[in-house]
Amino acid sequence: MLLQGSSTKRALIPFLIVFLCLLIISCVNPEDKYVEGNIKITEKEFAETLGNLPADVAENILAKRAVFLSYIEKLINISRQDENFILFPVDKTRFLPETFRPSDLVDLEREGVSVARRGLLLRANAAAALLEMHRAASSEGILLSAASAFRTFEHQRNIHNNFIRTHGQEATERFSAPPGASQHQLGTAVDFFPIAVEFKDTRAGRWIKENGWRYGFSLSYPYNFEEITGYMYEPWHYRYITKEGALVEREFFGGLQFLFLNYLAEHKGFFKERLAVE
């Protein structure tokens, strides 16, 4: 009897182990699971980062979260290598230091880009992307011509003050950035010729709207978002945010630069921390 009893118990052991394993697995909350990839973040933590985004944007990101986070990892590495605010939102609440001037500015005309006026400068990476875009447009018979590019803090202050004198403070704030708040100080923003709303209906305006992202260029002040961006629609003003950045902005943020750059600025530190965790 005794012998028989202990062998029955022994036979039960594997079943018991399987049962315990199932019990443990069922106790792990699905929200505590980690999202696949190198950024060590739980499903719950990740979903929380999406809290301030429009529902459709958040849903789309959530559905492709592993791919999204692999892009975020690339973007973190880009901004690590580049200390010049390449993916940093610059707006009426986030200013650049008065002394900020990128060290790698190049002359656009000398680089082979078509310009509407001499002496235009951009950072080397943005200028190279602009040249590539200019050539692609040219091959389709379209002329993309730069009309304004890098501006120093001082230059922006003069322009802004002149506008205030001629247009008044209130009107000026709708289209001209105060010094330190201009993307032009980054050395990665370009105004295309002509600097006018009509640009959107030109062949160049339509082409860049359709293709700019392929070369890393993003429309900064889209139509109907003045309340959020702080500026009226500027179809001629594009900012270089790297090809990877423009791709993520298009794929996941509906092509809205402020949405994308704000999300990145808000959560980059957290993602960076989790990327460092072994």
Catalytic (active-site) positions: 234
Work out which of 39, 121, 191, 253 binds Zn ion, going by CB under 5 A.
191
DSSP 30: G
Q: Give every CB contact of residue 190 below 8 A, 6+ residues apart in sequence.
A: 122, 126, 130, 146, 148, 149, 217, 237, 238, 239, 240
Using the minimum distance from each CB to Zn ion, give the nearer residue, 79 or 156.
156
At 125, which helix (H) or strand (E)?
Answer: helix 124-139
Burial group, residue 43, by CB count within 10 angstroms (0-12, 13-18, 19+)? middle
In this structure, what DSSP letter does residue 126 have? H
CB of 148 to Zn ion, least distance (A): 6
Q: Return the exposure string of 102-120: e unless at least 16 CB atoms fall within 10 Å of the residue's CB, then b.
A: beebbebeebebbbeeeeb
The number of residues that bind Zn ion (CB under 5 A) is 2
Interface stretch with Zn ion, choices 47-55, 133-141, 165-173, 235-243 (CB under 5 A): 235-243
Map tokens 């443990």 to a residue: 24
Q: Minimum distance between the CB of residue 230 and Zn ion, rounded to whole angstroms? A: 13
Give the binding range for Zn ion (CB under 5 A) out of 92-100, 189-197, 260-268, 270-278: 189-197
Stretch that binds Zn ion, among 46-54, 136-144, 166-174, 237-245 (CB under 5 A): 237-245
State the pairing for strand pair 237-240/217-219: antiparallel
Near Zn ion by CB under 5 A, which window of 47-55, 99-107, 230-238, 247-255? 230-238
Contact segment (CB under 5 A) with Zn ion among 40-48, 157-165, 184-192, 241-249 equals: 184-192
CA distance 148 to 157: 15
Instruction: Please return the burial class of 28, using the count of CB atoms within 10 Å of its CB with bins 0-12, 13-18 and 19+.
Output: exposed
Whole-number minimum distance, CB 193 to Zn ion, in Å?
12
Give me the residue whose beta carbon is nearest to Zn ion: 237
Nearer to Zn ion, 46 or 236 (CB): 236
Does position 123 bind Zn ion by CB under 5 A? Answer: no
Which CB atom, from 183 or from 275, has the smaller least distance to Zn ion? 183
Cβ proximity to Zn ion: between 123 and 237 the closer is 237
Query: Whole-number minimum distance, CB 114 to Zn ion, in Å?
Result: 17
91 forms part of the interface with Zn ion (CB under 5 A)? no
Q: Which is nearer to Zn ion, 134 or 237 (CB)?
A: 237
Q: Which is nearer to Zn ion, 167 or 272 (CB)?
A: 167
Residue 51 — φ and ψ, nearest 5°? -55, -35
Give yes or no for residue 237 binding Zn ion (CB under 5 A): yes
The nearest distance, CB 213 to Zn ion, in angstroms, is: 18
Q: Does 274 bind Zn ion (CB under 5 A)?
A: no
Helix or strand run (H / E) with residue 135: helix 124-139
Q: Give me the least distance between CB of 237 and Zn ion, in Å please.
A: 4
Q: What six digits make up the tokens of 164?
A: 């205030």
Q: Which two tokens stand for residue 127?
A: 């200028």
Interacting residue ranges for Zn ion, rule: CB under 5 A: 191, 237
